[in-house]
Chains A and B, each alone.
Chain A
Amino acid sequence: MYLLLESIQDVRLFLERGGDVLIPIMLLILGMWILIIERAVYFRFGFPRLAAHLRDRWEARGERQSWRAHQVRKALVTESSMSLFRGLDVIKTLIAICPLLGLLGTVTGMMEVFDVMAFVGNGNVRAMAEGISKATIPTMSGMVGALTGVFFIALLERRAKLQQTHLEDALTFDH
């Protein structure tokens, strides 16, 4: 319990030092991870059910070699790929936005530094320190968020392609 309180306090301090931009970055990373986990769970539990359903529909057909059958198979594969790749683009965008927001934090932090310089001159380094921490922490956070995301999005994409190929293999034209 005490440890939890202490870590909450740490997070709050970190947010305070990094300035307002850290909050959108935090929400962004949170949303990104929710989406990543959702995808992982779907690949593990949701998609096999859909794949089985599609397979059954294919197996239920009488003939599987005519032009119409080919079109129907294509439709089934597309349906599977639509649900497999749903949300991956959003995750990718969020990853791309992370460093942008970090940069935004850097610039607003630098503005604060220059404001301080305009008021008290450039002799007072201590007064500028707050702005500098607001400039550097968001950049770091954006980078960390983007890097973790990049790694997992690669895994997810590979997994999605693999699942689709498996399904395509399963929808055979003939037995």
Chain B
Amino acid sequence: MIPLRSIAAAALALAAVFPAQAQDGKPADSVRELLNLVEQGVARDASDFRSRMETFKAEKDKQEARLSEARRQLRDLESRSEKLESEFQGNEESLAEAEARLDERLGTLRELFGVLQQVAGDARGTFQASMITSQYPERDDFLKQLIEKAGSSSELPEMAELERLWFEMQREMAESAKVVRYPAEVTGPDGNKSETEVVRVGSFNVMKNAAYLDWEADTQQLVELPRQPSGRFLASVDDFVNADSGQVEPLFVDPSRGSILGLLIQTPDLAERIDQGGIVGYVILALGGLALLLALERLVTLNLVNMKVRRQLNSDEPDEGNPLGRIMATYRKYESTDNETLELKLGEAIANETPKLQRFLALLKIIAVVAPLLGLLGTVTGMINTFQVITLFGTGDPKLMAGGISQALVTTVLGLCVAVPTVLMHTLVQGRAKAVTQILQKRSIGIIAEHSEQGHVSAA
């Protein structure tokens, strides 16, 4: 019983499973549907293909029509090109003919324009470099146009232009003999431009109030020289520029048309010169300053001492504030002892005083001797620099050697400039010191003796 029941239960269970499966998958139905779908798809593809074939055929016909159209156009254009080519040939021939006729008719004129071009070019070069252009800047444009015209084959210079060339050349000549005043644009040393009244002397100099100007041919500008010549030259410029017409004023003119004034910028001024001396130069200058200070201190001190000593000479009372007074005090102290002790004590007192008077004298002398030696040192180092430059670059360019040579010479100059006054000051100071020392060393005892003698006489 039990197995039957169990089989029935299993069958029930299976029955419960199968229908469920058939309900979900439906395998037999889907395959059929797929078949239907394929059948329908094949039918649709065939109709598509047919319609595509039809449109393609229509397109092909259209393209063929287009192609024949293009071929026709090509034929048209080719025939037109041939026509134009023959026309071009014909034009060329007539152009050559016309040119030949032009040549024939120009004849010697062509040569004339060549000369004209050359002359105008020369004149333009001259004018560009000339200071007179600052007054007539428009003539450069005119010449440029004229040169282009004379050089081109399509245009001929006109009579008026030829006359103007002649006029400009004549004007350059006439202006170079004149002193004129006119407003012009001047570029200052700081680069600022300003409209200023300038005075031009021929083609030699242009100046404004208290300044020489330079004409820069490259930039066609009037430039104020950044470094002006020394006072007496500038003063003449001032007087000249501010003079009334008809008044005669002397003036320094640069006959090289500005190049000498231009060189002025390149010459170094005092500070630059000193700087060329390098470290050695500054050491020498420092020594010079030291010597000056020492000498001044000595002069003042010695003069004061000298004054005090001279005052002491006239009085019997020893004053401890000066060397002679101190010696006199020593004398007073040991007056009653024997001569030998007295002399020893006095000698000691004098020996105490002299070093104070002669202080710094040796140092001054050393500076006077060392300064030219240091100058020599600078000279030798400068020459070493120069020879190094020569080994590197050869002797071809003196400008390269200039640095070392400047150092060599500047240090020598500085050495001498320090040595000469130091020697003089040393002599002066030494003279003062010597005078006082002589009074102390040789005369003091005599003076004291005389004084005390007089004292004795009056006491007796």
Residues of A at under 8 Å CB distance from B? 67-68, 71-79, 82, 89-90, 92-93, 96-97, 100-101, 103-104, 107-108, 110-111, 114-115, 117-119, 121-122
Contacts and interface: CB of A to CB of B under 8 A. Distances in A.
A7 B405 CA distance: 38
A86 B266 CA distance: 50
A55 B263 CA distance: 71
Given A82-B438, A89-B431, A67 B412 contact: no
28 contacts: A71-B446, A72-B446, A72-B450, A72-B453, A74-B442, A74-B445, A75-B443, A75-B445, A75-B446, A75-B450, A77-B442, A78-B438, A78-B442, A89-B430, A89-B434, A90-B427, A97-B420, A97-B424, A100-B372, A100-B420, A103-B416, A107-B409, A108-B409, A110-B409, A111-B406, A115-B402, A118-B398, A119-B266
Contacts of A77: 442
Given A100-B416, A104-B416, A114-B409, 10 more contacts: A68-B449, A71-B445, A71-B448, A75-B445, A89-B431, A90-B427, A96-B423, A107-B412, A108-B409, A108-B413
Query: Which secondary structure dominates where chain B touches chain A?
Result: helix
A78 B413 contact: no
Which of B372, B399, B442, B446: most chain A CB closer than 10 A? Answer: B446
A100 B419 contact: yes
A93 B443 CA distance: 26
B446 A74 contact: yes
Nearest to B398: A117
B449 A71 contact: yes
Nearest to A57: B450
B339 interface: yes
Interface string B62-89: 0000000000000000000000000000
Interface of B: 263, 266-267, 339, 372, 398-399, 402, 405-406, 409-410, 412-413, 416-417, 419-420, 423-424, 426-428, 430-431, 434-435, 438, 442-443, 445-450, 452-453
Nearest to B427: A93
Nearest to B340: A67
A88 B398 CA distance: 48
A28 B130 CA distance: 48
Contacts of B419: 100
A42 B423 CA distance: 26
B435 A82 contact: yes
B405 to A, nearest CB: 5
A76 B427 CA distance: 25
Given A78-B443, A97-B420, A104 B431 contact: no
A6 B428 CA distance: 38
Contacts of A119: 263, 266
A104 B263 CA distance: 24
A67 B342 CA distance: 11
A90 B423 CA distance: 10
